Homo-oligomer: A and B are copies of this chain.
Amino acid sequence: MTLEAAASLIKDGDKVAVGGGLCLREPIAMLRELTRQGRKNLHLCGTAHGFDVDYACGAGIVGAVEETHVSFEQDFGLALNYRRACESGQVRIHENCCNTIIQQFRAAAYGIPFMPIMSAKGSEEVLLHPEFKHIICPFTGNDLILVPALTPDVAIVHAQKADIHGNLRIEQPYVADILMIRAAKNVIVTAEEIIPEAEMIKLGPNVPYYEVAHVVHVPWGAHPTSCYPYYAYDREHISNYYKITQEGADAFKTKYLDKYVYGVKSQAEYIELVGGSERQKRLASWKNGREAWMELYNYE
């Protein structure tokens, strides 16, 4: 299946669980394709994220965000596209907390209507979730919050390895990906590598084929976030991206979207645009030892 065809299965308004987290293994090629296809009003959900959600907010494809954190951490700071989208009201804020949303994914994965949690009491995050219920625990008498199953319409995940049947080998950290896959109605995977079934079986898939609806081969599908062992995160690209977001929404459109998204027709073109084989070699150089690895975080 092509990336175009896979992306076309995601509909305006869908609740989309986004794999990876922060700087790691985010399905960015899929988000770019959704942008080119003009998708609108996606409801993103997941744990602690960064580039993906900020990008998608800047690209205008998002209507609601139910993540637990969106930033470039202390490396660059606040996620500016995300901020603008939240502050303008373009994006509805359903901020969640990591364990809460994990329990909501668990409930969906387990086929039960809710999970009870011990925390979140006292926090105002519950104000952003009128769907939560309280009960008095019939066993302990404690006040408990019941958080409902969160069933994404689709989970989009970038995996290191897949075979053509959909067996996946995702490397640690899994973040919430394996859980999201079990929770979602539909699972679309971009994979860095497609390997023969026999090799997959030898490695031992951690997601079995019948849980995955579609697999697309997309090398560098997580760039500019990392997809170890293939590539570290592209701090130079992200630094440039961040500077553009500092210039405002219009600059983001003309300097980033027009160039890196609308300006390319394929993943191969994108790879060339962001530096081609030279860049690929550089981001794989973390394997050459501590100094080389540090250098990738130290380019400025």
Interface residues of A, Cβ cutoff 8 Å to B: 111-118, 133, 135, 137-140, 142, 144, 146, 148-149
A171 to B53, CA, bound (A): 39
- Name which of A111, A113, A133, A148 has the most chain B CB atoms within 10 A of its CB: A113
Which of B111, B118, B139, B144 lies in contact with A133, CB distance below 8 A?
B139
Q: List 11 A-B contacts (CB under 8 A).
A: A111-B118, A112-B115, A113-B137, A113-B144, A114-B137, A114-B139, A135-B138, A138-B146, A139-B146, A139-B148, A139-B149
A83 to B92, CA, bound (A): 61
A287 to B1, CA, bound (A): 41
A113 & B113 in contact (Cβ 8 Å cutoff): no
Q: Which residue of B lies closest to A204 (CB)?
A: B172
The 6 lowest CB-CB distance pairs between A and B, nearest first, are: A113-B139, A133-B138, A113-B140, A113-B137, A112-B116, A139-B148
Q: Which residue of B lies closest to A133 (CB)?
A: B138
A114 to B112, CA, bound (A): 13
A112 to B139, CA, bound (A): 10
Q: Which residue of B lies closest to A142 (CB)?
A: B113
Contacts of A142 in B (CB 8 A): 113
- Name which of A115, A133, A149 has the most chain B CB atoms within 10 A of its CB: A115
A116 & B118 in contact (Cβ 8 Å cutoff): no
A113 to B114, CA, bound (A): 14
A118 to B144, CA, bound (A): 20
Which of B111, B116, B117, B148 lies in contact with A114, CB distance below 8 A?
B116
Contacts A113-B137, A115-B115, A135-B138 known; list 9 others, CB within 8 Å.
Answer: A112-B115, A112-B116, A112-B117, A113-B116, A113-B140, A133-B138, A133-B139, A139-B146, A139-B148
* Shortest CB distance A149–B (Å): 8
* Shortest CB distance A116–B (Å): 5
Q: Which residue of B lies closest to A131 (CB)?
A: B139
* Shortest CB distance A172–B (Å): 9
Contacts of A149 in B (CB 8 A): 139
Contacts of A117 in B (CB 8 A): 112
A48 to B1, CA, bound (A): 43
* Shortest CB distance A290–B (Å): 19
A4 to B144, CA, bound (A): 43
Contacts of A133 in B (CB 8 A): 138-139
A138 to B147, CA, bound (A): 11
A176 to B17, CA, bound (A): 29
Which of B112, B118, B138, B140 lies in contact with A118, CB distance below 8 A?
B112
* Shortest CB distance A258–B (Å): 45
Contacts of A135 in B (CB 8 A): 135, 138
* Shortest CB distance A140–B (Å): 5
A148 to B144, CA, bound (A): 14
Q: Which residue of B lies closest to A146 (CB)?
A: B138
